[in-house]
Structure 1
């Protein structure tokens, strides 16, 4: 029987430290902090309300990782780049039939893990919910609720457009992971719509333009949302896991947009935002560009100030269409920096559910498929506003 409920792996990083402090507010949970540096782990422990245990573990030490996983029910992983540091953790969780969640956006790595370990995970009963933060809980939950409402009305949804408004800071770890993907060549594979679908016969969605667009329902201009390539893959995997034989679901479009503004100024601003994203993407493909980005961006372990975290927010509206008609609108709102406050809220609630509740689906899954409305209600209880509107 595992001694601990949840191990926070990478507890000394910026987001891992925040997660440790959040989980250690629960006296009924036995928390373990795991990382490479004992002194840093002790510092994080001293900042926690209920003092967790400590385990010094190097993610590259396969035997040490296996011993850690045996001792805990759930690994909540914050140590990236995940393609570099998470392989032995995932392998051990699958072998033991335990549970795992993380905050990666590295769909290429997760796709590789699915191909390698999904069969064994289903045999051992392991439950793995990667991308359990701002990547990609809003996309997963809003699409789940929209499609559930549509099915109740016998509507066939052809397209879902998710419109984001957000304010927050940027973490050095997130930046380093993105740059590492470019250096490894994974960024090209990142564009594969079916990167999380192991069945090569499952058809890809029709191509859609990634450019500034006007949304008549919201009466606003938008630019492409930079997290689309991660979130859209998670939404497609959820549809595949629901019914791998439903090729109509495979053809449905899911696209993400950043709300910019209304009128001619909104249109102009959307073009500027789109151009800025293109320049940033181009810079990251060149060694000199990555060097410049690292020089001006936050370093691993760094993140936004407490004031910036508290002043952030996320607001999203997902529009589900049957043909040209909007049938369902799902709205989600949360206070706090999306990449830190909201991410920590999401992954800690998922980790606690993994400890206390039996999931509806095992193997590599998503929060919505494992816990559905239980997760929705947990998020609401933490102050996240989630509403669904139907348009007959």
Structure 2
């Protein structure tokens, strides 16, 4: 029976959302849980508060991430570790990743710090993880799996119909979200602003390696779909999540284009899923795809015209420039920002929503459009994030749903992404367990009706 360790188990998103979800999950009898963190007293209190359901399948481990022997012992008892102890660059997350990679165990976290992933995770652990078979997926919540996965689903739909020779020329996500403010996310933003080790966060290619690069679309005041199709948002404002999401999306693009896992690790791929030049059943991105994201609505407000979208974008740019650029502004606002480990009530989280409409247009002489829709339950930052994270972990340690299989890279390892490691297994698990549905349809550019719904 696989064991899932949750480090930083007393963090708000863990104790209020992830752990209750895992304890009451339909598959809960198929795995055991370790509640881990620094304080045994707090962990024991948390374990007691979670009730008697599944109590015989839960245990507590107290260790700090500075205690190498303690971390190794925790990882040795686990098949996968979920890390909530952020901001990750400040709380020694690399020590936990290193232990997982060394032991060939899997690792997930919720970091939104793409500069940290570029500087301290990909260059240090990607090759070693591929060598040991460890799957490392940073940014495994709302940042950045939903937007990445909806693109994956749309591309898969396109290539299932028209073949691997066609790909997306341009792909734009339109987000409509509702929910509370995340103290942990804001703490990560502050950590990024004050980080001593800087990476250009305006560069979407920072997770692809120095040898692979290309143009990064400039921020826009107003976003529109890349193709004229019905029943999609007409306008969008700049979306703050795009700054992080595009780096993960671009890494998925990069990983999809690898011709094979590599001769040094080919023996890690089990019989029946040996990769071909294009990963067999997995979609492959084209050479010059342009990715964009925008915010089409927040709460009950929809940005139905270009003026509204432009004003929202301008407001964000002014605030972001002041907050990221001036320490005294961050200090001034600090008393009004929820601290890490806090969040809105469960009722607020449950009433939230996470919706994405992706509009993509294919390359080639006769382009078609693909419209994909991601419909997720709950607010993005807490309720939905916890469930996406949980199903991502379960995708790696439990049998795949009928008709699905993990992508070949999941059997090789490395610093991966949701689509490249989990693919349709995660899509189907989220559908089965009521977390989110993803649908895609191919339409003629400018057409009024869909040509195919998959």
TM-score, normalising length: structure 2: 0.80
TM-fit CA distance, 1:158? 0.8
1: CA distance, partners of 2:233 / 2:213 = 33
Q: Do residues 276 (structure 1) and 315 (structure 2) align?
A: yes
Change (3 A) 1:219 1:184: closer
The equivalences for 1:129-168 within 5 A come to 129-152=137-160, 153-154=162-163, 155-168=166-179
Q: Do residues 196 (structure 1) and 207 (structure 2) align?
A: yes
How much is the aligned-residue C-alpha RMSD, in angstroms?
A: 2.2
Do the aligned residues in 2 keep the contact of 1:240 with 1:250 (CA within 8 Å)? Answer: no
Q: Do residues 64 (structure 1) and 116 (structure 2) align?
A: no
2: CA distance, partners of 1:339 / 1:319 = 23
TM-fit CA distance, 1:62? 2.4
Do the aligned residues in 2 keep the contact of 1:11 with 1:41 (CA within 8 Å)? Answer: yes
Change (3 A) 1:139 1:186: farther
The equivalences for 1:331-350 within 5 A come to 331-350=373-392
**What is the CA deviation profile of residues 294-315 of structure 1, one whole-angstrom value per residue up to 9, with x for unaligned ones?**
2111011111111210110011
Do the aligned residues in 1 keep the contact of 2:2 with 2:397 (CA within 8 Å)? Answer: no
Q: 1:314 aligns with which of 354, 377, 380?
A: 354
Q: Which moved more, 1:319-328 or 1:126-135?
A: 319-328
Residue correspondences, number: 387
Change (3 A) 1:206 1:233: closer
Q: Which moved more, 1:102-111 or 1:315-324?
A: 315-324
**What is the CA deviation profile of residues 206-252 of structure 1, one whole-angstrom value per residue up to 9, with x for unaligned ones?**
53442223445435221011100211111111111111479983521
1: CA distance, partners of 2:45 / 2:6 = 14
**What is the CA deviation profile of residues 172-210 of structure 1, one whole-angstrom value per residue up to 9, with x for unaligned ones?**
111111101100156652222111112x22132353442
Do the aligned residues in 1 keep the contact of 2:256 with 2:285 (CA within 8 Å)? Answer: no
Partner secondary structure for residue 280 of structure 1: helix
Q: 1:296 aligns with which of 336, 354, 376?
A: 336
The equivalences for 1:1-392 within 5 A come to 5-17=3-15, 18-25=17-24, 26-48=28-50, 49-51=53-55, 52-85=58-91, 86-111=93-118, 112-152=120-160, 153-154=162-163, 155-185=166-196, 188-198=199-209, 200-215=210-225, 217=229, 218=232, 220-244=234-258, 249-260=286-297, 261=302, 266-284=305-323, 285-322=325-362, 327-357=369-399, 359=406, 360-361=408-409, 362-383=413-434, 384-392=436-444
2: CA distance, partners of 1:82 / 1:62 = 17
2: CA distance, partners of 1:31 / 1:206 = 42
Structure 2: 5+ residue stretches without partners = 260-277, 279-283, 400-404, 445-454
Quick check: which one's helix share is greater? Answer: 1
Do the aligned residues in 1 keep the contact of 2:396 with 2:422 (CA within 8 Å)? Answer: no
Change (3 A) 1:219 1:88: closer
Change (3 A) 1:332 1:278: same
Structure 1: 5+ residue stretches without partners = none
TM-score, normalising length: structure 1: 0.92
TM-fit CA distance, 1:370? 1.8
